[in-house]
Structure 1
Amino acid sequence: MDLHVRYEGDDDPDKCTARKLARFDLAKLHRSDRQTPYGVVLNPHAERALSTVDADMAAETALVALDCSWESAGEKMFSLPGEHRALPYLVAGNPVNFGRPMRLTTVEAFAAALVILGEPDHAERIMAKFTWGETFLDLNEEPLRRYAECDDSAEVVAVQQEYLDRE
């Protein structure tokens, strides 16, 4: 599954997980919406949750993430063409937002999506480039497994609700 990033370049380049993925040739960065390929776009504002139903489309086109600072990640930023899907409830394993729900880095978003879409080995491969990568996968092992077992977006949302009710 090809990973593509609409790269804004407005955060700390030393902490940018998208740039690191690109350095290892694990993702391709794009500086404009037009350059970014059509695919399954990870968008926290999307109306549908990512589920296994999206796996074929992501494999045939691309898995796309927007890399920007959290301060500028408003809904208007997600104008990319494609099928927009939201990731379900997960907690960050990165040092900056450790333990905070839904404050994932670009690589964490990709890894979560890959697990849900049935590509756990690919997720482990990209997370292995980060010292805290295994931490993210360990923290979210149960919810990621459960989300990956869901048949569709509605089931993912129902499982997510269980985690939200615990918060």
Structure 2
Amino acid sequence: MSTEDYIKLYFYDGKQCNPKRCSGKKLARFNLATQVNLISKIPSYSLVLVPTADRVLSKDDQERIEGSGLAVLDLSWKATGSDFPRVIKRTRQRSLPFLLAANPVNYGKPFMLSSAEAFAAALVILGHRSQAEEIMGKFKWGQTFFDLNREPLEEYEIAKNAEDIIRAQELFV
């Protein structure tokens, strides 16, 4: 995959996580994602992955993401509720469908993905599997994410739109 085919990735560092375990910071160290310290620095036309979003990510979002990028909010799962409304007013948000976390902190928990896992899932859904594999290759548990979620990711990857994603998700919930 050439670098011009890569989706631009941004993560907002909410400074709520252990910096040594922060998957977003690790991706930034490898130049695989850009860290922003203010929500206003997330490019305004990018799409933000938010677990509370009303719409699920799908290939319907491909053009926007390929043009402006994809962002995640790197926040503690214990303190996310009050932080999401701040970003909702200025961006388009999408949620991810059912997946299991493989990271050591939330292993096996549904929807409790690290920033790296969220990026990887989104990239697979959008048809950028090689970029997703490159990201997860930076983590000892990266392949475990793909192994745990093999069937759902395969279904989400072939889904043509949000309705297909929802139907596929119902197979696993």
* TM-score interval, smaller chain: over 0.9
The verdict on how the C-alpha distance between 1:28 and 1:78 changes in structure 2, with shifts beyond 3 A counting, is farther
In 2, are the aligned partners of 1:7 and 1:67 still within 8 Å (CA)?
A: yes
> Helix, strand or coil: the match of 1:163?
coil
2:18 aligns with 12
Counterpart check, 1:131 vs 2:140: yes
Q: CA RMSD in A?
A: 1.1
Task: Give 1:95 deviation, angstroms.
Answer: 1.2
Task: Give 1:77 deviation, angstroms.
Answer: 2.1
2:120 aligns with 111
Equivalent residue for 1:67, pick from 46, 65, 74? 74
1:58 aligns with 65
Q: How does 1:74-89 map to 2 (within 5 A)?
A: 74=81, 76-80=83-87, 81-89=90-98
Residue-by-residue CA offset, 1:78-118 (whole Å, 9 max, x unaligned): 53332211100000111111111111000000000000011
Query: What is the alpha-carbon distance in structure 2 between the residues aligned to residue 85 and residue 79 of structure 1?
Result: 15
Query: What is the alpha-carbon distance in structure 1 between the residues aligned to residue 142 and residue 165 of structure 2?
Result: 23
Structure 1: gaps spanning 5 or more residues: none
Higher mean displacement: 55-64 or 78-87: 78-87
> Helix, strand or coil: the match of 1:102?
coil
Q: How does 1:37-56 map to 2 (within 5 A)?
A: 37-38=43-44, 39-56=46-63
1:157 aligns with 166
Matching residue's letter, 2:78: E
> Helix, strand or coil: the match of 2:48?
strand
Query: What is the alpha-carbon distance in structure 2 between the residues aligned to residue 153 and residue 40 of structure 1?
Result: 15
Query: What is the alpha-carbon distance in structure 1 between the residues aligned to residue 117 and residue 169 of structure 2?
Result: 17
In 2, are the aligned partners of 1:88 and 1:157 still within 8 Å (CA)?
A: yes
Higher mean displacement: 154-163 or 56-65: 154-163
In 2, are the aligned partners of 1:150 and 1:156 still within 8 Å (CA)?
A: yes
Could you list the structure 1 runs, at least 4 aligned residues long, displaced by more than 6 angstroms after superposition: none
What is the identity percentage for the equivalent residue pairs of Structure 1 and Structure 2?
Answer: 40
Query: What is the alpha-carbon distance in structure 2 between the residues aligned to residue 78 and residue 16 of structure 1?
Result: 22
Task: Give 1:75 deviation, angstroms.
Answer: 5.8
Under a length normalisation based on structure 1, what TM-score does the superposition of the two structures give? 0.94
Matching residue's letter, 2:66: A
Query: What is the alpha-carbon distance in structure 1 between the residues aligned to residue 147 and residue 171 of structure 2?
Result: 19
Query: What is the alpha-carbon distance in structure 1 between the residues aligned to residue 142 and residue 112 of structure 2?
Result: 15
